[in-house]
Structure 1
């Protein structure tokens, strides 16, 4: 992707860059179809982990198979599985907050975004595989391994996302970003379908329920590493911008990360967008994160309906990511995101009224339609807002905002649920996050194409 002073793609000859040139921000977009496909395939790879491990299988297995109803004594207190899980998620978020911007800047200085991607991807995949070898009572090791896998997943995404403008170029970023998310929904959904089949048929396969869950978790780590190989080959390192070794890059990376943070405090389109994204992505993450418990607790739906709805969301999100990328090409990226947020607001309002499985599944289909579009377009829009194009250090902050945009919404949801005794007012309140994000996003003006 481009840095300040990089050549204007519209004035470049249409020569296709080599894989090595692709790693440099000044490479001529677009890249070859094989490189674009390799970049998109990384979304296919890591989505198996985030869906099957972090979202669906491991939380349930942690509660029933690792911790159990008796809880676990930690720091002199007996804590429930839910409390321990929350602490683990918080620990990983803190690690991302501290590491992502500095590592992103260090990758820019060293020219080794590809190496950083490989290291953190393989570390996360190894942690996921190791989780599959844990059993009842292995509470601390599971917490540490999952925190490591989550932190590695998010840090790897910093370097992966930073290649977007290098792979696609500004004018094609929406389409390629949407295609990447579409690959992710298919890959993640396919692995989850296999994992669901494994756990459903575990008795016929001669496995206990715990063995099936552990195999599903470990296989996601293998899937992640295996399908990341094309990206490892295509996304190359470039000559360093700074001298010295890793310690020097990290030290200078901290300086650049702090300077980037100061630049955001001075305002500008990228800073305004990050604030808008913080709000509306909080609404998205709350809706997704609370959907299962809302369906289970408020609507009394069976687990089978919830799992099938999750698969439906994955399937529809594939089409949604592609469709919204095309829509952005017609009406502009910002307007397409605003339209998706309007639909998200309607989802929150409609969720207040629904009462049965069919309505829940139908609403899940609508969620799938806008989920991929809002996320993919947010990534490509931000990449273009940073002058010269977002680099790894900028995506370090994007990753931080993504992680911390899942705090306010769940907190509001929990407080309203406790005060009212019902999840319906809580889900309705989530609409406020979408509306506030829309107001701020409407004030953003993007320089250049894709406005």
Structure 2
């Protein structure tokens, strides 16, 4: 079947009815709360706390020259965190493309989004175990958490066309971003207060 044939056979979804409005509001709220939770990871873990902590763990494991040796490479302990983030971002690009394609072909967006979110959350909770010189564990957990975060966010964004008509998308997307900033900001403030 050609693309043209598929376009002819495709019928647009009817506008929401009164019964659909409640489900639509519920789905939008779930989408907003998902952004609330995701932003907490990027604002608190990636941006503020993990970098200095993982660097101190890597410095504990460093040799006399101040280097650590993940996968046989010689890296300055202070550079371990940014190198690990860069590596995770490179892997994330491929993971987002492959997972997005798979989700589009199978229709399993929700299952994949939730699965990656749970894996990322478990990896983030595993960071509790970082102490002493366990920088390799920290690096592995960071890679898994950041890839999972990126893929779950990309899959979440794929929901927007089903949550809002083209003229509503800016407003719905902006509200999601607002929830995200609020969630990330509030958790960061709470963590900074506890850290003091």
SS at match of 2:114: helix
SS in 2 for 1:170: coil
Corresponding residue number in structure 2 for 1:73: 68
Query: Is the CA contact 2:38–2:180 (under 8 Å) kept in the aligned structure 1?
Result: yes
Alignment equivalent of 1:152, drawn from 148, 152, 160 = 148
User: Partners in 1 of 2:87 and 2:19 — Cα distance?
Assistant: 41
SS at match of 2:68: strand
- Secondary structure of 2:168's partner? helix
* Pairing 1:387-402 to 2, within 5 Å after superposition: none
> Quick one: which of 177, 185, 189 aligns to 1:189?
185
**Which residue number corresponds to residue 58 of structure 1?**
50
Q: CA deviation at 1:86?
A: 2.3
Matching residue of 2:3: none
1:136 match:
132
2:79 maps to 1:88: no
1:35 maps to: 27
Matched, 1:123 2:119: yes
- In the other structure, the counterpart of 2:37 is 45
Supply the distance in 1 between the matched residues of 2:36 and 2:140 (Cα, whole angstroms): 25
Compared with structure 1, are the counterparts of its residues 186 and 76 closer, same or farther at alpha carbon in structure 2 (3 Å cutoff)?
Answer: closer
When residues 94 and 30 of structure 1 are mapped into structure 2, their CA distance, relative to the original with a 3 A threshold, is farther
Q: Which residue of 2 aligns with 1:99?
A: 95
Displacement of 1:90 after TM fit? 2.0
How far did 1:15 drift?
1.4
Normalised to the residue count of structure 1, the TM-score between the two structures is: 0.38
Structure 1: runs of 5+ lacking an equivalent: 19-28, 201-451
Post-superposition Cα deviations, 1:92-122, rounded to whole Å, max 9, x if no partner, equal 1121122211211111111110000110000
Report deviation, 1:82: 3.4
Pairing of 1:200-349 with structure 2 (within 5 A): 200=196
1:296-445 equivalences in 2 (<5 Å): none
Please name the residue that 1:206 is paired with: none
Give the Cα–Cα distance (whole angstroms) in 2 for the partners of residues 163 and 109 of structure 1.
Answer: 15
Give the conservation status (yes or no) of the 8 Å contact 1:16–1:31: no
Which has the greater radius of gyration? Answer: 1
Aligned-CA RMSD value: 2.3
TM-score by length of 2: 0.85
Shift, 1:61, TM fit: 1.0
- Kept after mapping to 2: 8 A contact 1:30/1:168: no
Q: Kindly indicate whether the alpha-carbon contact (under 8 Å) linking 2:44 and 2:188 is maintained by their aligned counterparts in 1.
A: yes
Q: Confirm or deny: 8 A CA contact 1:88 1:147 kept in the other structure.
A: yes
Larger relative contact order (C-alpha < 8 A, sep ≥ 6)?
Answer: 2
Q: Is the 8 A contact 2:58 2:78 kept in 1?
A: no
How many equivalent pairs are there? Answer: 184
Q: Kindly provide the CA deviation profile for residues 126-173 of structure 1, in whole angstroms up to 9, marking residues without a partner as x.
A: 000001221120111100110110000001112100000101121111
Q: For residues 4 and 67 of structure 1, do their structure 2 counterparts lie closer, same or farther at Cα, with a shift above 3 Å needed? A: farther
* Structure with the higher fraction of residues in helix conformation: 2
| SS, match of residue 89 in structure 1 | helix
Q: How far apart, in 2, do the equivalents of 1:147 and 1:113 lie? A: 22
**What is the SS of the residue equivalent to 1:136?**
coil
Unaligned runs of 5+ in 2: 1-5
Question: For 1:170 and 1:4, how far apart are their aligned partners in 2?
Answer: 19
User: Alpha carbons of 1:117 and 1:173: their partners in 2 closer, same or farther (altered >3 Å)?
Assistant: same
Distance verdict in 2 for CA 1:16–1:96, change over 3 Å: farther
